[in-house]
């Protein structure tokens, strides 16, 4: 019966019909649309956990990287997945190749480099409110760092910045390094953000300024979620404590 329906409807309509039926299951949608966010990687389970609250909301999502290489008519798999999973969202993307042929309702694509600060600022201005940013672009460490430094300030409070495929932080072909003290990699950035979260605990040195705008950093295998927000809970060193010896413990006053 399914084979008959597939023939009658055609491949594209058949996929869309099945996608509508499985619209609440991001992993199944990833398989249907052919994105490696499931299967090749196990990202969709984490996306579902962090993005569940957005399902029925109006918001803007920007994904870096369309996919399909230099071929203008290929790629856009994850964009279509996001469109189906978030029925009220506007999906935006950028790619260094011309992918305008893949645009459709609620999917807008701009051509340009994620390492071009002027281009990134212009796109953020065109979109206006940016609630979710996903970096699935070149995965070159320099590009990842540039994109974050330019786009994170444009992210709304409460918004999420996601970096995929952080394994390239250790790959020299992408400008990465296996050295624990590497400074110019995506994971070096993530490690610095973990310190920045605790900016109010810094006493003898100047804390990372970005810490005031980050409320959480969640790390998974090759995947990082960074939530923006006002981080001003008050540091431990700014609260009143009376410190006793180890045997007496710590007592608040």
Q: What is the DSSP string of 176-213?
A: ----TT--SSHHHHHHHHHHHHTGGG-SSSPPPGGGGG
Alpha carbon 214 to its chain centroid, in Å, reads 14
Neighbours of 139 (CB within 10 A): 24
Cα–Cα distance measured from residue 140 to residue 27, given in angstroms and rounded to the nearest whole number: 26
Strands (E), 65-154: 90-95, 107-111, 130-135
The two tokens of residue 139 are: 């995965």
What is the bridge-based pairing of β-strands 250-252 and 107-111? Answer: unpaired
Cα–Cα distance measured from residue 137 to residue 74, given in angstroms and rounded to the nearest whole number: 15
Phi, psi of 244 (to 5 degrees): -105, 180
Check 41, 46, 139, 154 and give the catalytic one. 139
Active site residue 139: yes
User: Is the distance from CB of 72 to CB of 104 less than 8 angstroms?
Assistant: no
Active centre residues (catalytic)? 139
């Amino acid at each position: 019966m399914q084979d008959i329906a597939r023939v009658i409807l055609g491949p594209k309509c058949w996929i869309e019909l099945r996608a509508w039926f499985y619209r609440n299951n991001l992993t199944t949608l990833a398989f249907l649309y052919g994105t490696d966010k499931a299967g090749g990687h196990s990202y969709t389970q984490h996306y579902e956990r962090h993005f569940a609250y957005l399902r029925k909301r109006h918001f803007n999502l920007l994904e870096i990287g369309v996919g399909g290489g230099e071929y203008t008519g290929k790629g856009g798999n994850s964009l279509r997945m996001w469109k189906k999973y978030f029925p009220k969202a506007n999906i935006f993307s950028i790619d260094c190749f011309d992918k305008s042929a893949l645009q459709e309702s609620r999917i807008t694509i701009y051509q340009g480099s994620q390492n071009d600060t002027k281009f990134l600022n212009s796109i953020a201005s065109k979109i206006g409110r940016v609630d979710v940013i996903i970096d699935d672009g070149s995965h070159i460490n320099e590009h990842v760092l540039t994109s974050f430094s330019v786009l994170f300030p444009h992210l709304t409070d409460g918004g999420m910045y996601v970096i995929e495929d952080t394994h390239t932080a250790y790959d020299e072909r992408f400008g990465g390094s296996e050295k624990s003290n590497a400074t110019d990699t995506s994971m070096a950035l993530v490690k610095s953000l973990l310190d920045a979260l605790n900016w109010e605990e810094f006493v003898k040195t100047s804390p990372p300024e970005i810490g005031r705008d980050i409320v959480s950093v969640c790390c998974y295998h090759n995947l990082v979620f960074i939530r923006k927000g006002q981080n001003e809970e008050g540091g431990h060193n700014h609260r009143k404590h009376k410190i006793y010896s180890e045997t007496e413990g710590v007592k608040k006053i």
